């Protein structure tokens, strides 16, 4: 199972990003972290891509876990390579 973790100093930043990504209202007052697990690892590629495309618009950090206990900090520099790796590692 693959997970995405978002962190921010402001719960409003997480709320804005998630509301934009899911195209619906998110109400996560006073929460500075958000985690979601995915059964299909390829689904993570979409949120990584959206995050990378909008990295300057939101003050949040993203970490992705593909293996238990191993976290990758998603940045503008590594997002495309990470997405490519997902499709190579999970070709189904």
Sign of CA dihedral 66, 71, 75, 78: negative
Q: What is the CA radius of gyration of the chain?
A: 13
First to last CA, the chain: 15
Number of domains in the chain: 1
In 10-78, which residue ranges form alpha helices assigned H by DSSP?
11-22, 44-53
Classify 15 as helix, strand or coil.
helix
- Residue pLDDT tens, the chain, 92 long: 899 999 999 888 999 999 999 988 877 777 899 999 999 999 999 999 999 999 999 999 999 999 999 999 999 999 999 999 999 999 87
Give the model's pLDDT for residue 52. Answer: 96
CA distance 21 to 65: 19
Domain that holds residue 9: 2-89
């Amino acid at each position: 199972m693959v997970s995405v973790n978002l962190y921010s100093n402001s719960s409003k930043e997480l709320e804005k990003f998630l509301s934009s990504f899911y195209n619906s209202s998110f109400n996560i007052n006073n929460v500075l972290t958000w985690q979601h697990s995915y059964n299909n690892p390829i689904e993570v590629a979409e949120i990584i891509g959206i995050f990378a495309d909008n990295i300057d618009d939101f003050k949040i950090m993203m970490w992705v876990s593909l293996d238990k206990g191993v976290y990758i900090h998603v940045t503008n520099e590594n997002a495309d390579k990470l997405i490519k790796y997902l499709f190579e590692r999970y070709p189904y």
